[in-house]
Structure 1
Amino acid sequence: MKIHFLGAASTVTGSKILVETQGLKILIDCGMFQGLKILRELNREPLAVPPSTIDFVLLTHGHLDHCGWLPKLVADGFNGKIFCTHPTKEITKLILEDSAKIQEEEAERANKENFSKHNPATPLYTVEDVEKVLPLFRVVDKDLEIKIEDNVWFKFFYAGHILGACSIELHIENKTLVFSGDIGQDDDVLMFQPEKPKAADYIFLESTYGNRIHPQEDTLLLLETIINNTYERNGNVIIPSFAVERVQTVMYLLWQLKKQNRIPDIKYIIDTPMGISVLDVFRANLKWHKLTPNESIEMCEMFTLITSFEDTIEAIYEERPKVVIAASGMITGGRVLAYLERYISKPENTVVLVGYQAEGTRGRKLLEGEKEIKMHGNYFNVEANIVSIEGLSAHGDQIDLLHWMSDLTNTPQKVFLIHGENLALDALRTKIQEKYSYNITIPMLGQVFEI
């Protein structure tokens, strides 16, 4: 059996692992590379294995770095089945359509304003390309054993992180391969605790926060302080947020603060059409999260939900202080850029980062204190307050990742550490060896292992 590490190897994004055995090829996730230009350019490169030869895709969840390359995979020849849970199918559809629209709009704007090096600038894929992906989905529930060929079966099991997210247990050639996908925090606000694998011959473990322990901070108090201090300066709070799960988590926390009269009676805006659509997915999939139907309804009532760009412009130029949650979470695109173009250079405003910021993204640059950022071909001075609330991450930290392996009844032959930057990968490798004495490998992008 061969394992091809086609993405998320010694980097966080672009998750793609190909399992190749005699007469069968299975791709675990099909994500888009984000962040550094050298990584983003890989999205335009052909896959190392012809997509037409791949039989199945198993999708852990619907974030762009795990599903965002599916339209390109299909355009390049893949015509097999894509297995996922019901919430993951719904979220992936929203994510891909939004991604395609943003790419089309940015290409059009780049050509119109002539700020791209490419002539003409073209999207990686279009909305029409996304439509060709959707018929290939096959929805299965978690904890069911799904046979895909003689002596080959898999099952999804709950991973927390976001709605519908699962780890994968794959049985093939009398071996058990476990792919973590992205693992949520054990004490997440909205998601249940991740389920742990019981046995595995080979583990493929995400390492996003492999070198970090989330601070034991009072998230409600932090949000309360940030909002009240900014309000007293007559400023605006902008929260760049991932449309899936993070928007809903921040909404829930703000709702709790409002119920307790701890934050001012100002306008609270959700400006991400996809994030609003995800609220419907939450209501339709109650067994996947902690919110009751009544809580979902009551929570939404305190927010102004914006879908049209005309309303976005109106909100941007409204003089009164407000709190805005807008996509995207790493400030790589989306509605949040329109707000930041107006607000980032004004010291009375605050930008709150509430999730992982990959290398090369605007969010990472702000987190590291850069005083100038580029948006739509123009540079803007960073005068606004930049604050990070690490505890709001949808990823488990080093303690959570170690705990996830604590129920194994056997010693795996090998643990592959993936989906992390180098410092995180090496720190987690050391901790796993200290705690469990497992055989650890950190694969490089493009490496192939025989097992």
Structure 2
Amino acid sequence: MPMIKVHFLGAAGTVTGSKFYLETPEKNLMVDCGMFQGLKELRLKNWEPLPINPTRLDAVLLTHGHLDHTGYLPKLVKEGFRGTVHGTAPTLDITEIVLLDSAKIHEEEAQLANTEGYSKHDPALPLYTLKEAEFTLNLFKPQKRDVWHTLSENIKYRFRYNGHIIGATFIEINIYGKRFVFSGDIGRQEDLLLEPPERPKWADYLFMESTYGDKHHPEEDVETILIKLISKTIQQRGHLIILSFAVERLQSLMYLLWHLYKKNRIPNIPIYVDSPMGNNVLSVFERHQHWHRLPMNEYRAMCRHINIVQSYRETWQTIDDPRPKIIIAGSGMVTGGRVLTYLQQLIDRPSTTILLVGYMAEGTRGRKLLEGSNEIKIYGKLYPVKASIYHLESLSAHADQQELLHWLGKLRNIPESVFLVHGEPSDLNTFRAKLNNTFGWHVRVPQLNEALTLVV
């Protein structure tokens, strides 16, 4: 009987670095190829060679375009991968934006480390260069969703709509008659810009994300919270800095603020969006209108109302402008990008308000701000935190525990094995117990770099 070997090369026992390698008698596949973020011990793993031979890898299938699912691709190519990278068209568009932005940040941080001398490496080098990221784009192969695509005689796959961000999918792979389902990141039932996720009907082997496996998103009146923070900002003549993921959340926040203004619930306070990557993502919404529900007339009116920062010079003009203002800066988990310039200049001011949106992984600056840190380190220097810190969890793009269970509700069979991934230990263990109690399934929490052989 055919045997499939599954390697858990990332997002095992942690949230980031999603990489799942499948060895089969016909083809070798990888589902997602993400970069580790957060704790230093995890980030260092990005520099380590993978415990597989990338030259034997035939194809990478991407669930969606976030950095922790795609950011390792240029490194994989550096290690010898020359196969194809498959994803939906908007996923590959987002991945292109993310990889080029990531490469630019890696190059800039290496250059700054060498100039300032705060790295122990001499010279400090980028994980990969812009040229290497650009070469990786040549391997991209966009595919339609809801269509079975053949990789070999006994292996085929399809992408299914999953909410979360534009282009995101879960992936069903049929291997010798057994169905492997990789959930990717599952979106919300109610989302400003996206439809609810579709749901699988059959899974022999299920690889399930658990980001919010032990949590329920709070019932928050997001509009009222934003109105209060904006009023506070105007009264203090300060800055409201909203730190958001550049893909989906940033566009949702733009839409929210535009509607509040249109309904006369907030004054005409200047709003700036400073995220080169986020700006590029806006064009993906325009190109792939059937993947979201933002009307194009609303999209264009929103973009006219909001100031889109185009250059680093404009970033400094925005900081120096004394008027109260709202700044939406793409930052991931406050790990890099333009937002760091704003924090360097403004986080030590009591008149500054910082709003964190979405999930913040352990070890990131975002998590430290959430936990009340009195100072944060940026480019080797410590900055005191005197700004007010707030968190909006209900705008998360990830399904919570109840929504994860709902996503499983259409399965017609009992999976042979369920593997919980993409979660911190408490989330994974709580969700494992929940699945055991709810369905009585055999559930495992694999360890990083664990390899299992499945007989199909």
Please tell me the residue identity of whatever aligns with 1:187: E
Q: 1:43 aligns with which of 42, 46, 59?
A: 46
For residues 147 and 24 of structure 1, the distance between their equivalents in structure 2, rounded to whole angstroms, comes to 11
Is the contact between residue 329 and residue 354 of structure 1 (CA under 8 Å) also seen in structure 2?
Answer: no
SS of the residue corresponding to residue 391 of structure 1 reads: coil
- Larger mean Cα displacement after TM superposition, 47-56 or 259-268: 259-268
Given the alignment of the two structures, is residue 188 of structure 1 paired with residue 191 of structure 2, yes or no? Answer: yes
For residues 145 and 7 of structure 1, the distance between their equivalents in structure 2, rounded to whole angstroms, comes to 26
For residues 343 and 270 of structure 2, the distance between their equivalents in structure 1, rounded to whole angstroms, comes to 18
SS of the residue corresponding to residue 238 of structure 2 reads: coil
Match of 1:71 in 2: 74
Q: 1:141 aligns with which of 138, 141, 144?
A: 144
Given the alignment of the two structures, is residue 98 of structure 1 paired with residue 101 of structure 2, yes or no? Answer: yes
Please tell me the residue identity of whatever aligns with 2:388: N
Please tell me the residue identity of whatever aligns with 1:302: H
Is the contact between residue 233 and residue 325 of structure 2 (CA under 8 Å) also seen in structure 1?
Answer: no
For residues 143 and 129 of structure 2, the distance between their equivalents in structure 1, rounded to whole angstroms, comes to 27
Is the contact between residue 202 and residue 413 of structure 2 (CA under 8 Å) also seen in structure 1?
Answer: yes
> How far has the Cα of 1:23 moved from its partner?
3.9
For residues 205 and 255 of structure 2, the distance between their equivalents in structure 1, rounded to whole angstroms, comes to 38
Deviations 1:122-166 (A, max 9, x none): 100001001111111111111000011002100000010000000
- The TM-score normalised by the length of structure 1 is 0.99
Please tell me the residue identity of whatever aligns with 1:326: A
Match of 1:167 in 2: 170
Please tell me the residue identity of whatever aligns with 1:194: P
For residues 372 and 302 of structure 1, the distance between their equivalents in structure 2, rounded to whole angstroms, comes to 35
Match of 1:362 in 2: 365
| Structure 2 gap ranges (5+) | none
For residues 307 and 35 of structure 1, the distance between their equivalents in structure 2, rounded to whole angstroms, comes to 28
Match of 1:221 in 2: 224
For residues 285 and 156 of structure 2, the distance between their equivalents in structure 1, rounded to whole angstroms, comes to 29
Match of 1:230 in 2: 233
SS of the residue corresponding to residue 358 of structure 2 reads: coil
Deviations 1:291-318 (A, max 9, x none): 0111110111211001210110111111
> How far has the Cα of 1:435 moved from its partner?
1.3
Match of 1:274 in 2: 277
SS of the residue corresponding to residue 366 of structure 1 reads: helix
Match of 1:10 in 2: 13
Q: 2:328 aligns with which of 320, 325, 329?
A: 325
For residues 194 and 5 of structure 1, the distance between their equivalents in structure 2, rounded to whole angstroms, comes to 25
Is the contact between residue 61 and residue 165 of structure 1 (CA under 8 Å) also seen in structure 2?
Answer: yes
Is the contact between residue 176 and residue 202 of structure 1 (CA under 8 Å) also seen in structure 2?
Answer: yes
SS of the residue corresponding to residue 7 of structure 2 reads: strand
Is the contact between residue 26 and residue 152 of structure 2 (CA under 8 Å) also seen in structure 1?
Answer: no
For residues 121 and 313 of structure 1, the distance between their equivalents in structure 2, rounded to whole angstroms, comes to 27
- Larger mean Cα displacement after TM superposition, 24-33 or 425-434: 425-434
SS of the residue corresponding to residue 132 of structure 1 reads: helix
For residues 228 and 194 of structure 2, the distance between their equivalents in structure 1, rounded to whole angstroms, comes to 25
Please tell me the residue identity of whatever aligns with 1:118: H
> How far has the Cα of 1:51 moved from its partner?
0.6
Given the alignment of the two structures, is residue 336 of structure 1 paired with residue 312 of structure 2, yes or no? Answer: no
Alignment of 1:245-394 (within 5 A): 245-394=248-397
Is the contact between residue 111 and residue 121 of structure 1 (CA under 8 Å) also seen in structure 2?
Answer: yes
| Structure 1 gap ranges (5+) | none
Please tell me the residue identity of whatever aligns with 1:281: V
Is the contact between residue 329 and residue 355 of structure 1 (CA under 8 Å) also seen in structure 2?
Answer: no
Please tell me the residue identity of whatever aligns with 1:230: T
Given the alignment of the two structures, is residue 157 of structure 1 paired with residue 188 of structure 2, yes or no? Answer: no
SS of the residue corresponding to residue 416 of structure 1 reads: strand
> How far has the Cα of 1:73 moved from its partner?
0.4
For residues 264 and 234 of structure 1, the distance between their equivalents in structure 2, rounded to whole angstroms, comes to 14
Q: 1:439 aligns with which of 437, 442, 446?
A: 442
Is the contact between residue 230 and residue 240 of structure 2 (CA under 8 Å) also seen in structure 1?
Answer: yes
SS of the residue corresponding to residue 346 of structure 1 reads: coil
Q: 2:399 aligns with which of 384, 392, 396?
A: 396
SS of the residue corresponding to residue 250 of structure 1 reads: helix
Aligned residues: 451
Please tell me the residue identity of whatever aligns with 2:450: Q
Percent pairwise identity: 51
SS of the residue corresponding to residue 426 of structure 2 reads: helix
For residues 346 and 211 of structure 1, the distance between their equivalents in structure 2, rounded to whole angstroms, comes to 35
Is the contact between residue 211 and residue 424 of structure 2 (CA under 8 Å) also seen in structure 1?
Answer: yes
For residues 174 and 237 of structure 1, the distance between their equivalents in structure 2, rounded to whole angstroms, comes to 54
Q: 1:113 aligns with which of 113, 116, 138?
A: 116
For residues 19 and 188 of structure 1, the distance between their equivalents in structure 2, rounded to whole angstroms, comes to 33
> How far has the Cα of 1:260 moved from its partner?
1.4
Match of 2:413 in 1: 410
- Larger mean Cα displacement after TM superposition, 16-25 or 305-314: 16-25
